[in-house]
Amino acid sequence: MTPTPPSPKGLPEATRADSRPVNRCDHLGAHPFSDTQDGLFRAYLSDAYAATCKQVAQWMHEAGMTTRTDGAGNLIGRYEGQTPGAPALLIGSHLDTVRNAGRYDGTLGVMLGIEVVAHFAAHGERLPFAIEVIGFGDEEGSRFPASMLTSRAVAGTLDALPLDAVDANGATLHEVLHKNGLDPTRYLEAAYRPEQVVAYMEAHIEQGPVLEAANLSVGVVSAIAAQYRFKVSIQGVAGHAGTMPMSLRKDALAAAAEAMVAIERIGAAGPTDLVATVGQLHVGPGASNVVPGQTTFSLDIRAGTELVRDQAAAEICETLQTIADKRGVGLSIELQNDLPATPCNPDLTTQLAASVTHMTGQAARKLVSGAGHDAMVMAALTPVCMLFLRCHQGISHNPAEAVRHDDVHTALLVMLDFIRTFATTTAHKPTEFSA
């Protein structure tokens, strides 16, 4: 075991001794659980991902679970219920990260799921349903140009696998699957049947400042925002920087720059729940003395409703075409992800809010999540609910990402209370548990 790094500066010391979920996230925050020596980056099916799954599987075993890896490379731990083979309450989040990531996005939700099972096992407590803790492999889409591949496989919503998708090193998804001992023809066999599942629960850091501003440890997610993700390509003409007159240039990077300013303007002019982001930019040929002939950039558009998202996307696409026509460059806009707004199940959300109040003595704050989560995919399979945890200054996707140990303990208590309450309400509906 590598030593656990100190807590980030500015955060209070843990008020509880049982801070194992946080410590485990910290343990997974560096090599060999990162693909980079400096900072944290854990890509889907990378060496660091394999090392992480091996370590997390060991913790699952210690908590009292059996483990398996499904056809999509997800790690799943199972804790049997009162009846062997009963349908399962799924508790999940993701183990992959963005580049230069924080330690708690996704991973903390998996660690809390393990802690829930460890508590029940330590007390000899079995429920009317099994509990399965899932560590999803590809929520972020940081390796291949598609996100949530593995939760879509589990939910049964992935119609076809993009086997020709290529990562930054030129490896195809087909090649990477084979390298990891996974059969591409069996990828979709990761899907659950609806009768195998009773519900899905996900705990996650808020990735925003609302809970901290309200001085609340946890909150309840009412819905997850709609999201579009596009790949935008601009084709200009490369030329010598010293001999190509400004008036004759078809500069792809200048066109992209104008496009990005327009994207920012349109995003800022909409409702407060609308956001539009360019997070990646590639320039070709990429030489200091060559007018750029080609650019590719990402475009992420999110809003609380599909209507707002779609209106913004239409305006942005029309504006980008106008810019391309004016500058005489080619434009291609390719939709890569279309995730609708996902309301969490009202009954489960109400129960979860009641558990928050029961364990904290405060009314539960309900929030719309601007970030996408595996829960929005899993809603196609089963009713879902989400618990948010306060994170320091709302920072996420950043090494400064941090949580309070006492907030994590509160989240654990809320999850345990919710699951016990859920067990009493479902115990009176035996037909829901027929295999």
Query: At 187, which CATH number?
Result: 3.40.630.10
Distance CA(83)–CA(79), nearest Å, equals 11
* 232 and 213 both lie in a single domain: no
Q: Is residue 14 part of a domain?
A: no
Q: Is residue 11 part of a domain?
A: no
Q: CB atoms < 10 A from the CB of 146, how many? A: 17
pLDDT at 434: 34
Full domain range(s) for residue 241: 226-339
Is residue 251 situated within a structural domain? yes
The larger pLDDT score, comparing residue 230 to residue 10, is at 230
Per-residue pLDDT, 147: 82
For residue 195, pLDDT over 50 is answered with yes
Confidence band for 67, pLDDT divided at 50, 70 and 90: very high
What is the distance of C-alpha 11 from the center of its chain? 25
Do 186 and 69 fall within a single domain? Answer: yes
Cα–Cα distance, 380 to 376 (Å, whole number): 8
Which pLDDT does position 15 carry in this prediction?
38
Q: What is the arithmetic mean of pLDDT over 288-300? A: 97
Rounded-to-integer distance, Cα 416 and Cα 212, Å:
23
What is the average pLDDT score of the chain?
93
Residues 253 and 206 in one domain: no
Tell whether 141 and 280 lie within a shared domain. Answer: no
pTM of the prediction? 0.80
List, for residues 368-407, the tens digit of each pLDDT value: 898 889 999 999 999 999 999 999 999 999 999 999 999 9
Number of domains in the chain: 2
pLDDT digits (tens, 9 = 90+) for 342-365: 999 999 999 999 999 999 999 999
Residues 263, 277: Cα–Cα separation, whole Å: 8
